[in-house]
């Protein structure tokens, strides 16, 4: 059965075994791969009945285990992913993945806590591990006509003077009709360098008339500007309305769902916004498949707290 919506997934996946099979289909697409050596010469081990088995300690488990014929190591579909060794049930992971990928403005840790009966710390950890899986690791350069601008994200500390802020500058470059790429910068002066590193040769870049970009035309094929200070929002095809729209979407996401985000975790919230914007033209099912397919790696709780 094709499971393409949150409603159908929650209705049809009722056991851990079914959740494992759903992940296997999305991540491997009928070709299981070893989590250790990436080989495809693998064999299914247990449970033999496809449902459950008894472990050496006497407990019952529905974890589906495979073995690689090349490296001889055993693995499951969650091995080496952000779900690896998680105490949270795989079915809960599947439901949170489906909901996070289908909710335009995301879901908060408190919502995960209430819906799935996990404690607040676990809910927060699950959400951030999924956001970490949304990071675009390909870093393919953007091309065509791109728009660039910066916004400030985070929680302002009390007692700061006028014009002073502890919010972080986020530089976003948006490809017309395509992807978004955002970088949390140490300082706003990094904005032109981030833009240069993000776009492909021959790309036309549109910005406002901020002095940050005064020298950008020396480093890109074409640099056009619009004068927002003079109420100029567009000059023909040259405008920054697309990136401004991205910022509006992100601010509604933060203010409406999370209310505020702390500075040290801003990068993962921005990665979620980039991922959803860049996959806005695909179905929820394709978005889930893309997320599950790029979730390799580990993020421990200690690493998350320290980041």
CB 207 within 8 A of CB 147: yes
- What does the pLDDT look like over 123-162, one tens digit per residue? 999 999 999 999 988 889 999 999 999 999 976 655 555 5
16-38 pLDDT, tens digit per residue, is 999 999 999 999 988 999 999 99
Helix (H, G, I), strand (E, B) or coil at 97: helix
Would you tell me how many other CB atoms lie within 10 Å of the CB of residue 152? 12
pLDDT beyond 60 at 209:
yes
Query: What three-state secondary structure class fits 63?
Result: coil
The pLDDT of residue 306 is 84
Please state the domain extents for the chain. Answer: 6-136+294-306, 145-281
Peptide bond into 125 cis (omega under 30): no
- Residue 234 per-residue DSSP state: E
Cα-to-chain-centroid distance, residue 89? 21
Return the ∠ at Cα 196 (arms to 195 and 200), rounded to 5°. Answer: 105
Contacts of 16 (CB under 8 A, 6+ apart): 61, 62, 63, 89, 90, 91
Q: How far apart are CA 8 and CA 76, in angstroms?
A: 24
CA distances to 118, 174, 206, 208, 253 from 240, in Å: 42, 9, 6, 7, 20
The three-class DSSP label of residue 19 is helix
Residue 306 neighbours by CB distance under 10 Å: 8
Give the pLDDT mean for 228-249: 96
Residue range 39-66: mean pLDDT, rounded: 93
**R_g of the chain, CA atoms, integer Å:** 22
**What digits encode the pLDDT tens for the residues 156-182?**
655 555 554 678 999 999 999 999 999
pTM score, whole prediction: 0.91
In Å, how far are 63, 145, 176, 241 from 203, measured between CA atoms?
Answer: 48, 6, 11, 18
**CATH assignment of 145-281, among 3.30.70.20, 1.10.1740.10, 3.10.20.30, 3.30.420.10:** 3.30.420.10
pLDDT for 1 beyond 50? no
Q: What share of the chain is helix, strand, coil (3-state, %, to 5)?
A: 40, 20, 40
Angle of the 120-133 helix axis to the 109-116 helix axis, nearest 10:
120
277-301: b (≥16 Cβ within 10 Å) or e:
bbbeeeebbebbbbbbebbeeebee
Write the DSSP string, 156-225.
PPTTPPTT---PEEEEEEEETTS-EEEEE-SSGGGHHHHHHHHBPTT-EEEEES-GGGTTGGGTSSEEEE
């Amino acid at each position: 059965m094709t499971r393409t919506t949150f409603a159908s997934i929650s209705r049809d996946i009722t056991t851990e075994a079914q959740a494992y099979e759903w992940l296997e289909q999305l991540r491997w697409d009928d070709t299981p791969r070893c989590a250790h050596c990436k080989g495809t010469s693998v064999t299914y081990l247990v449970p033999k009945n496809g449902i459950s088995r008894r472990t050496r300690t006497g407990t019952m488990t529905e974890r589906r285990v495979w073995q690689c014929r090349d490296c001889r190591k055993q693995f499951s579909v969650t091995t080496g992913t952000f779900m690896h060794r998680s105490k949270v049930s795989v079915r809960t992971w599947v439901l949170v993945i489906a909901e996070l990928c289908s909710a335009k403005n995301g879901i908060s840790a408190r919502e995960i806590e209430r819906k799935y009966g996990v404690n607040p710390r676990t809910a927060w950890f699950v959400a951030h591990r999924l956001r970490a899986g949304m990071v675009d690791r390909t870093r393919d350069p953007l091309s065509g006509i791109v728009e660039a601008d910066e916004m400030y994200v985070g929680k302002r500390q009390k007692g700061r003077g006028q014009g002073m802020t502890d919010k972080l500058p986020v530089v976003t470059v948006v490809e017309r009709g395509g992807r978004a790429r955002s970088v949390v910068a140490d300082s706003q002066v990094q904005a032109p360098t981030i833009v240069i590193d993000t776009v492909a040769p021959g790309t036309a870049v549109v910005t406002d008339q901020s002095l940050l970009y005064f020298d950008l035309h020396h480093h890109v094929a074409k640099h056009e500007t619009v004068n927002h200070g003079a109420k100029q929002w567009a000059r023909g095809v040259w405008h920054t309305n697309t990136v401004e729209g991205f910022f509006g979407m992100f601010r509604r996401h933060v203010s409406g769902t999370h209310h505020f985000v702390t500075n040290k975790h801003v990068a993962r919230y921005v990665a979620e916004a980039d991922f959803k914007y860049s996959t806005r033209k695909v179905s929820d099912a394709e978005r889930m498949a893309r997320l599950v397919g790029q979730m390799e790696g580990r993020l421990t709780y200690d690493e998350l707290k320290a980041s």
